[in-house]
Amino acid sequence: MWRNKKVSVIFPTYNEKDSIRNAIEDFFNSGYVDEIIVVNNNAVEGTDEEVKKTKARLVYERKQGYGYAIQKGLAEATGDYLIISEPDGTFEGKDVIKLLAYSDDFDYVLGTRTTRELIWKGANMNFFLKWGNWAVAKMMEFLYNTTTLTDVGCTMRLIKRYLYEKIKNHFTIGKEHFGPEMTILVIKTGTKFIEIPVNYKPRVGKSSVTGSMRKAFFLGLRMIFLILRYRFKRIKFK
Ligand SMILES: Nc1nc2c(ncn2[C@@H]2O[C@H](COP(=O)(O)OP(=O)(O)OP(=O)(O)O)[C@@H](O)[C@H]2O)c(=O)[nH]1
Ligand SMILES: [Mg+2]
């Protein structure tokens, strides 16, 4: 609970069998999380068994993709504060508190993984990934004239329920570039938001996205096209 309101965490999972149980416990241990929704997105065998050892709620999304999985989790969550993260050991449960603290002033709080001091040794954030994320984020900051942005690929973020309800019918991306689409939709509503530094640790197990430089490069390109495409698009929110 935070300010007497319910806090939900959404964990999409694909290949996190060996870290998911710890991640769930770590996030509950923050002391503020009331519910954790795990979205099994055709995850590796044995994932469900690990989740069932915890208090997290398990739901399924068959459509393959990071975006589909997160959208399913958001739709299933019942909290007033919706926090998205990953159960691969890269994010820290205690950083939930940072997101919540800033949510007193902002309805959307985005994490950034490019703060030098918070990138742990061995984390998947090399020179290319760090400055690539930074450059695309800066492009977005400039084109949309927003608050300071230094990362386009951070899953960890908080959105308040009313704002999620406002933008949810406009989600179109089911794959890995869903993150920036969500942020752009928030920007288009005119809501003020903020980006804050979070810890970024080495992943447990193999990454399926930015572990490959080639994949990361093409993902970056798709993000750039998305940012350009949305720039002059008019969106009517209910
Ligand atoms: N790659 C991939 N990830 C998925 C899928 N569905 C859900 N996910 C989840 O999306 C999150 C991101 O995937 P990761 O493999 O951790 O990607 P990464 O290389 O760490 O990339 P970032 O964390 O975005 O830097 C994880 O929590 C996955 O479990 C899917 O279809 N493909
Ligand atoms: Mg990850």
Cα-based angle 3, 22, 155 (whole degrees, multiple of 5): 60
CA atoms within 13 A on the CB side of 101: 11
Instruction: Quote the pTM value.
Output: 0.97
pLDDT value, residue 213: 87
Q: Which domains does the chain have, with CATH numbers?
A: 7-231 (3.90.550.10)
pLDDT value, residue 17: 96
Instruction: Answer yes or no: are the C-beta atoms of 51 and 160 closer than 8 Å.
Output: no
pLDDT value, residue 207: 75
Strand partners, 223: none
Long-range contacts formed by 214-221: CB under 8 A, 24+ apart: 216/128, 216/129, 216/132, 217/132, 219/153, 219/176, 219/177, 220/132, 220/133, 220/136
For ligand 1, atom 3, the nearest C-alpha belongs to 66
Residue-wise pLDDT for 124-138, tens only, equals 999 999 999 999 999
Q: Which residues form ligand 1's pocket by a CB distance below 6 Å?
A: 12-14, 16, 41, 64-66, 69, 86-88, 90, 153, 155, 203, 207-211
Alpha helices in the chain (DSSP H): 20-28, 47-52, 66-76, 95-103, 127-144, 161-167, 178-189, 213-231
pLDDT value, residue 115: 98
Span from the CA of 237 to the centroid of ligand 2 (angstroms)? 31
Residue-wise pLDDT for 192-225, tens only, equals 999 999 999 999 987 767 668 889 999 999 999 9
Mark the ranges of the chain whose per-residue pLDDT is less than 70.
Answer: 208, 210-211
pLDDT value, residue 238: 83
CA of 16, closest atom in ligand 1:
29
pLDDT value, residue 144: 98
User: What is the dihedral sign for C-alpha 174, 30, 163, 190?
Assistant: negative
What is d(CA 220, CA 151) in angstroms, rounded to the nearest whole number?
11
